Structure 1
Amino acid sequence: MVATNDRLHRLTTARRDRITRSSRVKLLAKQVAAGEYKVDPDKLAEVLVERANFHRQVKADLLSQRSPTEL
């Protein structure tokens, strides 16, 4: 995992499900800044590169499935 927290989560499961993705990102940023999480910069960089490569591959696959008349 990129960010780890040894303490229990502050939010209940039901509340966590209702929070939007951007809200969760903002909350995580605050928690990291407060020192609640330890962030591994090398793992974070690795995950970002993997994610970018995955999205690049998905885009290439979708473009290859299009018919020539759509392009």
Structure 2
Amino acid sequence: MAFVRERALRDEISLLNDAKREEAQRILQRLLTKRFGDLPEWAIPKLESANAKQLERWTDEILVVDSLDDLFKY
């Protein structure tokens, strides 16, 4: 029984982490669109495949970079 509870907790944590990453990706995409206009096709897969740390790094740099190319170098 403890194994089942532990597995359920891990699954719940995983789902929460996925939801947080998806929300961070959605917010960053909105901010990028406001800053740089419509995003090029190549930018969307980069955002969708980024992990939470990468999304956080890009969000931190959005106000200091001059272009999407510069942002995605981080």
Q: What TM-score do the two structures reach when normalised by structure 1?
A: 0.41
Structure number having the greater helix percentage: 2
Q: Relative to total residues, which structure has the larger strand share, 1 or 2? A: 1
Give TM-score, length-normalised by structure 2.
0.40
Larger C-alpha radius of gyration, 1 or 2? 1
If asked which structure has higher relative contact order (CA below 8 Å, sep 6+), I would say 1
